[in-house]
């Protein structure tokens, strides 16, 4: 069996880009479902963990925004988030931001394999680390990151008395496994 990598064609790159874009938009759909289903008080209430559902939603929104803004300069800096408190306390502001990100993702016309530099603090006592990446890799990472925060949001929401749909915050691989496992 030949294990050498295949050279991607323009068609396969477009298909990959479309899959990643769709996956990001599906995560954002789950975010919108959360924001629209929860009462404002539950969205903004600080939990015993020191954060709120709104805090996690703001973090999701701002991390994705970092990628979209970084595309214009070829450098994504995850530490340069706005930390916009309005997104934490206003479900309406979060809804507007999420819909805007979805619109941007759907019309995004960038070479998904184009190289990016990605910078982020990885330890509080160390300098920022910058590594090479690509839009495809960052979109894939955003899906994983968003699912992770949606899982936390689901736990917080359930503990506050507002259980969410069972698939919110579940990894795509887990959903596939559950769908295909023998009964």
> pLDDT for 80-96, tens place per residue?
999 999 999 999 999 99
Supply the pTM of this predicted model.
Answer: 0.89
pLDDT tier at 58, thresholds 50, 70, 90: very high
Q: Please state, in angstroms and rounded to a whole number, the distance separating the CA atoms of residues 174 and 171.
A: 5
Region 121-141: mean pLDDT is 93
Helix or strand or coil: residue 12? helix
Domains delineated in the chain: 12-178 (1.20.120.450)
Q: Which two tokens stand for residue 114?
A: 């184009």
User: Which pLDDT score, from 0 to 100, does residue 49 have?
Assistant: 78
Region 56-70: mean pLDDT is 97
Region 58-76: mean pLDDT is 95
User: Which pLDDT score, from 0 to 100, does residue 36 have?
Assistant: 95
Nearest to 64 by CA among 99, 24, 33: 24
Nearest to 147 by CA among 18, 21, 29: 29
Region 66-77: mean pLDDT is 94
In Å, how far are 18, 101, 132, 177 from 108, measured between CA atoms?
A: 10, 10, 21, 31
What's the whole-number average pLDDT of the chain? 90
Nearest to 28 by CA among 62, 61, 69, 74: 61
**Better-predicted residue by pLDDT, 114 or 125:** 125
**Better-predicted residue by pLDDT, 82 or 48:** 82
State the DSSP H helix or E strand holding residue 61, giving kind and residue range, or none if neither.
helix 53-70
Q: Please state, in angstroms and rounded to a whole number, the distance separating the CA atoms of residues 148 and 41.
A: 23
Long-range contacts of 113-117 (CB under 8 A, 24+ apart): 113/8, 113/13, 114/74, 115/74, 116/70, 116/71, 116/74, 116/75, 116/76, 117/74, 117/75, 117/76
Sheet-wide strand order for 75-77 = 75-77, 115-120, 129-134
pLDDT tier at 2, thresholds 50, 70, 90: low
């Amino acid at each position: 069996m030949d294990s050498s990598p295949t050279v991607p064609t323009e068609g396969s790159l477009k298909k990959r880009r479309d899959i990643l874009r769709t996956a990001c938009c599906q995560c954002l759909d789950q975010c919108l479902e959360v924001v629209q289903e929860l009462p404002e008080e539950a969205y903004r209430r600080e939990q015993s963990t020191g954060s709120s559902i709104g805090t996690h939603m703001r973090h999701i929104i701002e991390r994705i925004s970092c990628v979209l803004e970084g595309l214009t300069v070829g450098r994504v800096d995850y530490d340069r988030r706005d930390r916009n408190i309005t997104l934490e306390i206003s479900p309406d502001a979060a809804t507007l931001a999420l819909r805007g990100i979805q619109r941007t993702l759907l019309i995004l016309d960038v070479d998904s394999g184009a190289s990016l530099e990605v910078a982020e603090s990885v330890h509080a006592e160390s300098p920022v680390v910058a590594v090479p990446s690509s839009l495809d890799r960052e979109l894939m990472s955003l899906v994983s990151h968003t699912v992770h925060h949606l899982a936390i949001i689901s736990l917080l929401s359930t503990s506050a008395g507002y259980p969410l749909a069972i698939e919110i915050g579940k990894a795509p691989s887990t959903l596939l496994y559950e769908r295909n496992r023998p009964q």
